[in-house]
A = this chain, B = another copy of it.
Amino acid sequence: MTERTLLFLENKDYRGLREFLCEINPADIALILSEIPEESLTLVFRLLPKEIAAETFVEMDGDEQEFLLKAFSDKEIRDVLDELYVDDTVDIIEEMPANVVRRILALADSEMRAQINEILHYPKNSAGSIMTTEFVDLKKDMTVAAAFERIRRVGVDKETIYTCYVIDENRHLLGLISVKTLLLSSMRSIIGDIMETNIISVSTLQDREAVGDDFVKYGFLAMPVVDNENRLVGIVTIDDAIDVIQEENTEDIEKMAAITPTDKTYMKTGIIETWIKRIPWLLLLMISAAFTGKIITVFEDALAAQIALTAFIPMLMDSGGNAGSQASVSIIRGLALNEIEYKNIFAIWRKEFVVSILCGITLAAANFVKILIIDRVSITVAAVVCVTLFATIIIAKLVGCTLPILAKRIGFDPAVMASPFITTIVDALSLLVYFNIASALLGI
C-alpha cells in the first residue's frame, strides 16, 4: 500500500490519493504514514477527512505525532482534538515533550482539559490511568425510550454506548444495562427494573494488570471504574484492556529473559536505553556465576587428576539450565494466568518430582550409551556423569518450580525467576554434586 501511496505522490495525484486512503482502515493509513518520507507526512495527513484524520492520528507512533503536532496550525490541532476520545488524548500527551503538551492543553476546551488532567493525575499502571471519562450514564427512573433518546443525544462522543451506567444524583453506581437488553425490552420498561445490579467494578487505583485479568475472566466489553465511595468516575473499554494484556505479556517475557521492561518497542528504543535495560542483569548474573567458578577452583586438583571430567561440564550445565527453565516458565505462566496458586505447591512438587525422575532417567540412559560409544572414557567416569545428570535434572526441576511460587508469595515478581536465575543456581548445585560424586566414585 505504501508503494501505491508513493506513486500517487510522485504523480501529484492528491485527489486519487485521498480516495485511495479513504477506502482503507486508519490503522493501515498509520502504517503507510510511518513508511513514507517525513517531508510528505504533513501533506498526506492534510488530505484526510477530519474524522479519519483523527482516527489515523491515534494509531501513529509518538515520533510522527510529535512531528505533525509541531507542523500543525492551532486550528488543525483543535480539529484533531475535537474528534479524539479523552483517553486517547491522554495517551498521546504522555508521550509528548512539555512544550507540545502545553500547546495541546491550551487548545483543548475547558471540559476536555479538566478530564485530561483528572486522568493524568492517576498513577502510571493504575486503572484510573487507562480509563476514559466519556460514557453514557442513565437514571434509574428513566424509561427505555428515554434511555434511547439520551443515547442518541450524547452517544456520538462516547467511546462505547453498548454498556450504559445507571447512577444516582451523587454519581454512585447503581447498575448497568446493555444496549442489547434495551433493544430487547419494551420501550415503556423502567431502567431500574431491568438493569443489572450485580456489578463487577474496579477502583481507580487498582493495578491495570488486574483489570486486564478481569476482562479475560468475565468477557466484558467495558468495565466501570469507581472511586473509594463507589462513585463512577470512568470506564475501561476492551480495546484498551487488550493493549494492557499485550503489554503485560511483553513485560513478563522481557523479565524472563533478564531485561528491564520499557513501554517502547524494540525498534524505537535507543542504543543507550537498550544497554541500560540489559547490563544490570548481565552484571548481576555474571557475578553470581563466579560462585560456580569458585566451586571448580576448589576441586581443581581433582579435575587435574581426571581432566576428562571437564568435557562434560557444559552438557551438565546446559541440561540443568534447560530442565530448570522448563519448570520455572510453566509455573510463571500458570501464575500469570491465575491457574496456579500458592496452595498448589505440594501438587506441583509431586508432579515435578515424578517428571524429573522420568526426564532424568531418559537423559542419563541416552547419555550413558553415547559416552560409552563415542567418548570412550572409563565406565566409572560415565557412571559419575550420568548419576550427576540424573541428580541435576531433579534439582533443576524442583528449584525451577519452587522459586517462582515463593517469589510470588513474598510479593516479588515471579517472572524474574526464569531461565537466567534458575540456570545460575542450578549450575552451582550441579557442579557441587558432580565433584562430590566424582570424589567418592573415583577416589580423587
Interface set of A (CB-CB < 8 Å, partner B): 23-25, 27, 148, 151-152, 155-156, 161-162, 179-180, 183-184, 198, 200, 215-219, 221, 238-239, 242-243, 245-246, 249-250, 252-254, 256-259, 265-267, 271-272, 274-275, 278-279, 281-283, 285-287, 289-290, 292-294, 296-297, 300, 303-304, 307-308, 310-315, 317-319, 321-323, 325-326, 328-331, 333-334, 337, 339-340, 344, 347, 351, 354-355, 358-359, 362-363, 366-367, 370, 374-375, 393, 418-420, 423-424, 427, 431
A347 to B65 CA separation, bound complex (whole angstroms): 22
Smallest distance from the beta carbon of A290 to chain B beta carbons, Å?
6
CB-defined contacts of A300 to chain B, threshold 8 Å: 307-308, 310-311
How far does the Cβ of A87 sit from chain B's closest Cβ, in whole Å?
12
Contact A282 B200 (CB under 8 A): no
Contact of A366 among B183, B253, B283 (CB under 8 A): B283
Interface pair B290/A315, CB less than 8 Å apart: yes
A329: B residues at CB distance < 8 A = 253-254, 256-257, 259
Whole-angstrom CA separation of A190 from B307 in the bound complex: 86
> What is the distance, in angstroms, from A152's C-beta to the closest C-beta of chain B?
6
Q: Which residues in B have their C-beta under 8 angstroms from that of A323? A: 278, 282
Q: Which residue of B lies closest to A325 (CB)?
A: B257
Instruction: Give the residues in chain B near A355, CB-CB below 8 Å.
Output: 271, 274-275, 278
A162: which of B162, B245, B344 is its contact (CB, 8 Å)? Answer: B162
Partner of A423, one of B315, B321, B362: B321
Whole-angstrom CA separation of A409 from B293 in the bound complex: 39
Neighbour of A359 across the interface among B282, B333, B344, B431, CB < 8 A: B282
In this complex, the member of A218, A278, A374 whose beta carbon has the largest number of chain B beta carbons within 10 angstroms is: A278
- Docked-complex contact B238 and A344, CB < 8 angstroms: no
Q: Are A314 and B431 within 8 A (Cβ)?
A: yes
Q: How far is the CA of A354 from the CA of B256 in the complex (A)?
A: 23
Please give the distance in Å from A24's CB to the nearest CB on chain B: 7
- In contact, B297 and A315 (Cβ under 8 angstroms): no
Residues of chain B with a CB closer than 8 A to A333's CB = 250, 253-254, 266
A362 contact set on B, CB distance < 8 A = 279, 282-283
Copies of this protein in the assembly total 2
Interface SS, A side: helix
B419 touching A351, Cβ below 8 Å: no
Residues of B contacting A312 with CB < 8 Å?
293
Tell whether A242 pairs with B215 under 8 Å between CB atoms, given A303-B307, A423-B321, A427-B314.
Answer: yes
B218–A221 contact, CB under 8 A? Answer: no
CA A321 – CA B238 in complex, angstroms?
38
With CB as the reference atom, state the residue of chain B lying closest to A294. Answer: B311
Known: A266-B333, A282-B363, A337-B265. A289 touches B319 (CB 8 A): yes
Q: A267 near B339 (CB under 8 angstroms)?
A: yes
| A420 and B322 contact, CB distance less than 8 A | yes
Option from B25, B148, B265, B322 in Cβ contact (under 8 Å) with A285: B322
A179-B179, A266-B339, A340-B266 known; A297-B311 Cβ under 8 A: yes
What is the distance, in angstroms, from A110's C-beta to the closest C-beta of chain B? 26
A286 touching B253 in the complex, CB below 8 Å, given contacts A151-B183, A325-B419 = no
Instruction: Assess whether B254 is in contact with A420, with CB atoms less than 8 Å apart.
Output: no
Are A179 and B162 also in contact (CB < 8 A) when A307-B300, A314-B292, A366-B286 are?
Answer: yes
Q: Is the CB of B358 within 8 A of A275?
A: yes
In the complex formed, the residue of B with least CB distance to A316 is: B289
Bound-state CA distance A243–B180 (Å) is 23
Given contacts A245-B245, A358-B271, contact A258 B218 (CB under 8 A): no
For A286, list chain B residues within 8 Å (CB).
315, 318-319, 363, 366-367
CA gap between A418 and B322 in the complex, in Å: 11
